[in-house]
Structure 1
Amino acid sequence: MGIAALATAATLATSSWTAHAGDLSGAGSTFAYPILAKWADAYKKQTGVGLNYQSIGSGGGIKQIKNKTVTFGASDAPLPGKELDEAGLAQFPIIMGGIVPVVNIEGVKPGDLVLDGATLARIYLGEIKRWNDPAIAQLNPGVKLPSQAIALIHRSDGSGTTFNFTYYLADASPEWKSKVGSNTAVQWPAGIGAKGNEGVANNVGQTKGSIGYVEYAYAKQNKLTFTKMTNKAGKTVSPTFETFQASAASADWKSQPGYGVILANQAGEQSWPITASTWILLHKKPADPSAMGEALKFFAWSYGKGQDMAKELDYVPLPANVVADVEKMWTADIKDGSGKPLFAATP
């Protein structure tokens, strides 16, 4: 299935490719779906191996990998070390990208509107109810803002995109932190829910006066109006490959179990404030070693030959030293029943 189909994926809960014998299976992150789809199409043409991936949200991916119903799970919220150990899972980052606020305001074009973390938190708390509120107007001198009511769109499913978005809001707003907090699913003070990045994108596209949050590829593919943001350094930045990359530049991936480093609200004048990563979850002792070996080949291919495709969608590939470290981890930790490694890292 081509990723352009996302533009018309109305209330899509599950996106997948047709499965055949020998194909890989995965489930989870909708944040990473556009690049996984692009990789899968290219990989099948080169190798004949397909991928059946269910774009059901990070919470669903975690559940399915723990239940051993898929070869891998994909989550934009990393699991802590204790949970990984208890479930016998390995975790590693596969790609990075940006989460962007998207709006549907008549006369406002992509990049016209600027928001900051504190104002965005007040909007989602339901405190700022109209687009011409003084707090928004102060950030946007010269922009004609209507008195239209703000229609809030958020995720209804367990979502790593929500985890990173609410993590950012909690970091930027003490009020959000105390009242709502950060998680893959939260008790939203206001608004309506939609399933997946696909559902949020579709709802914002169809609802006048709305605001939502999606991975940047969805904003581009659906021609949605994204906002600029004021970052931690007080600079106004646009969502671009360069600003996402700036946020990821100083990440110390080995500082957390399973490389679980959160990239939201990083320092730096060029940093996009809501940058996120997607992690892959695999069983260290898989029930189907053959399928796991094929999955590791696919991810190794993605790290190498898939990088240019990632950049085309404004995702940020992992640094070479992180990739090398992850591949060594595969060799050391992911084995068949006899203890034989299922991947041979290149020296």
Structure 2
Amino acid sequence: MKAKRHLTGKLAAVFAAATLTLFSGQPAESATADDAKLTIHGAGATFPQPLYQRWIQEYEKTHPETRFTYAGLGSGAGVQGFLAGSIDFGASDAAMNDAELARVDPERGVVMLPMTAGMVVLAYNIPDVPTGLRLPRDVYLDLFAGRIRDWDHPRIRDANPDLDLPHKAVVTVVRRDSSGTTFAFTNHLAAVDPDWADKGPGVGKLVDWPGIAMAVPGNEGVAQRVKITDGAIGFMAYEFAQRLGLPVATLQNKSGTFVAPGPRTGQAALASVTDIPADLRIYLPDPEGADAYPIVSYTWLLLSQRYADPAVAGALKGAITWGLDQGQPIAEEMGYIPLPEVMIGKAKEALARVR
């Protein structure tokens, strides 16, 4: 058995530049010091990227015999890399759809495991409005539909009578890469107004945004762009806004309550779904409940059900079991939503099918 594993095609070049410096926990010049280690390669969603990086660092402290790398390239790249067999595991904030599942090599099979959940927030940069922005459902939909173009629009003023909103153009910041965060956000907007799906941009990992939108890659890219752009508002995973200290809007949920993102409101959203399907594909486009934050998504790892190398299967199962157990408090600490106990149990049952 060869412990050293190799990647092919376009992803290989990206891994060479990204994983050694960002995700291995080692500087690039020393990352290949121990070529005898079994190396497990993963790629995909940027939404859980900070968490997976932290998990890798913590897990390798007690399991130095295996090295894990993870490149945050977007959910679409994670699915495509998994389907191509160029990575050992993929990651996506949108579980594989039926068309993608039909492309899986039947000799390999696929197991999709939710590992954590998170909130998609609307972070903004409005001069003299550092906190306190409230956005009704129809208002934030129309902001990203390009129908509300100024921050002192009457509908925004009506929802925020105590704020001194400037006459400044709205700059929407969106993703230009294939993104599970985009899927979660557009899936929610379609639940708020079916016309978003039927007559508007639609639901997907990559959509054509109406109006003048500034498109950048990755959650980190959106957060950085909002931070430096006056009048900007962008959708991103909660932890990226937290890290940069960006203010986030309080959003109106399905029950009409205005709720801020946080552990309690995120967990209330997850608790609104009790019927878990066998394939663990759960979407929460518009959670029920007065306390539920409205834009919440699970994020999945994509594993082969049968690996050619049993050492790879064993290493992955050990690390993922650790993530489902010891990794959940770390997720909460970093601003993610820990998995409900029932989901952890279901994920472990699915993981047992990996060979």
TM-score by length of 1: 0.88
Asked if the contact 1:43/1:50 (under 8 Å) is kept, the reply is no
From 114, 127, 130, the counterpart of 1:106: 127
Distance 1:174 1:118 in 2: 12
Structure 2 equivalent of residue 263 of structure 1:
284
1:196-207 to structure 2, matched below 5 A, reads 196-207=218-229
Structure 2 equivalent of residue 169 of structure 1:
189
SS in 2 for 1:50: strand
From 276, 300, 304, the counterpart of 1:254: 276
Query: Residue 68 in 1 paired to residue 117 in 2?
Result: no
Structure 2 equivalent of residue 340 of structure 1:
none
Quote the offset at 1:253 in angstroms: 5.5
Distance 2:18 2:184 in 1: 21
From 215, 222, 235, the counterpart of 1:213: 235
Query: Residue 25 in 1 paired to residue 25 in 2?
Result: no
SS in 2 for 1:204: helix
1:332-343 to structure 2, matched below 5 A, reads 333-335=353-355
Quote the offset at 1:283 in angstroms: 1.0
Quote the offset at 1:309 in angstroms: 0.7
What amino acid maps onto 1:171 in structure 2?
A
Quote the offset at 1:295 in angstroms: 1.2
Distance 1:299 1:288 in 2: 17
Distance 1:82 1:158 in 2: 16
1:43-62 to structure 2, matched below 5 A, reads 43-48=59-64, 49-62=66-79
Quote the offset at 1:86 in angstroms: 4.1
Distance 1:82 1:145 in 2: 46
Asked if the contact 1:57/1:196 (under 8 Å) is kept, the reply is yes
SS in 2 for 1:100: strand
Query: Residue 115 in 1 paired to residue 135 in 2?
Result: yes
Structure 1 equivalent of residue 260 of structure 2:
238
Distance 2:94 2:188 in 1: 13
SS in 2 for 1:317: coil
RMSD (Å), alpha carbons: 1.7
Distance 2:210 2:308 in 1: 42
From 117, 123, 131, the counterpart of 2:151: 131
Identity across aligned pairs (percent)? Answer: 33
Quote the offset at 1:314 in angstroms: 2.0
Distance 1:74 1:285 in 2: 17
SS in 1 for 2:38: coil
Distance 1:91 1:100 in 2: 25
Quote the offset at 1:211 in angstroms: 0.6
Unmatched 5+ residue regions in structure 2? 1-16, 25-30
Quote the offset at 1:81 in angstroms: 4.9
Quote the offset at 1:36 in angstroms: 0.8
Distance 1:85 1:286 in 2: 19
Deviation readout 1:307-326 (Å, 9 max, x if unpaired): 11111112112122222222
Distance 2:244 2:39 in 1: 29
Deviation readout 1:290-339 (Å, 9 max, x if unpaired): 112211211110111111111111211212222222222222x322xxxx
From 42, 51, 54, the counterpart of 1:35: 51
Identify the range of structure 1 (182-191 vs 79-88) with the bigger mean alpha-carbon deviation: 79-88
Distance 2:110 2:231 in 1: 43
Aligned CA distance change for structure 1 residues 141 and 204 (closer, same or farther; 3 Å):
same
Distance 1:57 1:72 in 2: 14
Aligned CA distance change for structure 1 residues 276 and 201 (closer, same or farther; 3 Å):
same
Quote the offset at 1:37 in angstroms: 1.3
Structure 1 equivalent of residue 110 of structure 2:
89
Query: Residue 329 in 1 paired to residue 335 in 2?
Result: no
Structure 2 equivalent of residue 180 of structure 1:
201
Asked if the contact 1:95/1:278 (under 8 Å) is kept, the reply is yes
Distance 1:200 1:43 in 2: 29
Asked if the contact 2:120/2:238 (under 8 Å) is kept, the reply is yes
Deviation readout 1:101-139 (Å, 9 max, x if unpaired): 0000111123x1011221111111111000000111111
Structure 2 equivalent of residue 6 of structure 1:
none
Question: What is the count of residue pairs matched by the alignment?
Answer: 320
Asked if the contact 1:253/1:259 (under 8 Å) is kept, the reply is no
Distance 1:278 1:229 in 2: 22
Structure 2 equivalent of residue 153 of structure 1:
173
Query: Residue 308 in 1 paired to residue 314 in 2?
Result: no
1:264-283 to structure 2, matched below 5 A, reads 264-283=285-304
Distance 1:321 1:261 in 2: 13
1:282-297 to structure 2, matched below 5 A, reads 282-297=303-318
Asked if the contact 2:119/2:261 (under 8 Å) is kept, the reply is yes
